[in-house]
Amino acid sequence: MALVRIDKFISERTEYSRSQIKQLISKKMITVDGQAVKTADMKINPDSAKVTLNGKEICAERYRYILLNKPSGYVCSTSEHDGKSVMELIPSEMKMKGMFPAGRLDKDSLGALLITNDGGLAHRILSPGQHISKIYIVKLDRPFQNKYIDLFKNNLQLADGEVCMPAYVRRCEISEKLAFVQLFEGKYHQVKRMFSAVGNHVEVLMRVSLGGLILPEKLGFGDCMELLHKDVENLFKKPDFDDFCRYSFRVFSANLINK
């Protein structure tokens, strides 16, 4: 294994620049295998060295995948000019250079959002040919009607003439104003526009799964967690929508009922 400089190792895995890392070294805030680092050109084996910054271990992986439970009021942008960014919600020890939200949720939408610095994976998830499953729970203004099931399944046409791919919708057992929707594409404001096309209105929208990855119940709004490799692979699986609705309605409806 090729050895790498400690400052390069850290700068590739955190938000710190090489000059900031030099200062951290002079303050003895960086250790390798329990010993304070003395110089920025120290060489380490990236696969075996245990590197800490301010007492927290730095993960050897160069790519990081974070699942955020997005609260309302944040935009899916990395620019400070668009309003409060979801990136502000990622704790600094989890952040890496080049991270961005891989996908979009509206400012007022809630739920599962993937944040990563792996452009290749983001491309695979977002490319229109992939048809990754996305499941949302919505709170509607008016009661759910069974006719939505066929309308959503049969290439629903939106107000501007755009035609949707087949989508799946089910009333949530607990309330006539809650529904689950499964989409395999991501048009602008798609869920809101689909309900508007059938004469209803979405009051609250929360994404509860991305591929086969289900938002964990313990992850509160604004919280995030690092994903493991097996979770990332799960993104490309297709969940059974009816099973999902049957087993998950209690957990997710509780999030929306008081909103």
Nearest Cα neighbor of 9 from 34, 31, 35 is 31
Asked if 253 contacts 174 with a C-beta cutoff of 8 angstroms, the reply is: yes
Q: Any contact of residue 192 with ligand URA (CB under 6 A)? A: yes
Cα angle, residue 228 at apex, residues 223 and 230 outer, rounded to 5°: 130
Please identify, among the stretches 47-55, 163-171, 187-195, 231-239, the one whose residues bind ligand URA according to the rule CB under 6 A.
187-195
Which residue among 11, 85, 109, 117 contacts ligand URA (CB under 6 A)? 109
Own/partner contacts of 124-131, CB < 8 Å, gap of 24 or more, are 124/236, 125/210, 125/211, 125/235, 126/102, 126/186, 128/185, 130/236, 131/165, 131/184, 131/185
Q: Report the distance separating Cα 146 and Cα 149, nearest Å.
A: 6
Q: Any contact of residue 106 with ligand URA (CB under 6 A)? A: yes
Quick one: 110 or 227, whose CB is closer to ligand URA?
110
Which residue among 8, 22, 124, 189 contacts ligand URA (CB under 6 A)? 189
Q: Report the distance separating Cα 9 and Cα 251, nearest Å.
A: 41
Number of residues this chain uses to bind ligand URA (CB under 6 A): 8
- 124 Cβ contact partners less than 8 Å away, ≥ 6 residues apart: 130, 236
Quick one: 46 or 101, whose CB is closer to ligand URA?
101
Catalytic residue among 7, 33, 41, 106: 106
Q: Report the distance separating Cα 102 and Cα 122, nearest Å.
A: 5
Which residue among 42, 90, 115, 191 contacts ligand URA (CB under 6 A)? 191
Quick one: 139 or 192, whose CB is closer to ligand URA?
192
Which amino acid appears at position 95 of this protein? K
Overall residue count recorded for the chain in this entry = 259
CA distances in angstroms from 95 to 114, 215, 224, listed in the order given = 13, 20, 11
Asked if 208 contacts 215 with a C-beta cutoff of 8 angstroms, the reply is: yes
**Smallest gap, in angstroms, from Cβ of residue 50 to ligand URA?**
40
Q: Site residues for ligand URA, window 9-68 (CB under 6 A)?
A: none
Which residue among 42, 102, 105, 115 contacts ligand URA (CB under 6 A)? 105
Quick one: 158 or 219, whose CB is closer to ligand URA?
158
Q: Any contact of residue 139 with ligand URA (CB under 6 A)? A: no
Q: Any contact of residue 190 with ligand URA (CB under 6 A)? A: yes
Q: Any contact of residue 205 with ligand URA (CB under 6 A)? A: yes
Asked if 52 contacts 28 with a C-beta cutoff of 8 angstroms, the reply is: no
Quick one: 105 or 179, whose CB is closer to ligand URA?
105
**Smallest gap, in angstroms, from Cβ of residue 132 to ligand URA?**
13
Please identify, among the stretches 158-166, 188-196, 226-234, 250-258, the one whose residues bind ligand URA according to the rule CB under 6 A.
188-196
Tell me phi and psi for residue 128, to 5 degrees.
-60, -25
106 is catalytic: yes
Residues with catalytic roles: 106
Binding site for ligand URA (CB under 6 A): 105-106, 109, 189-192, 205
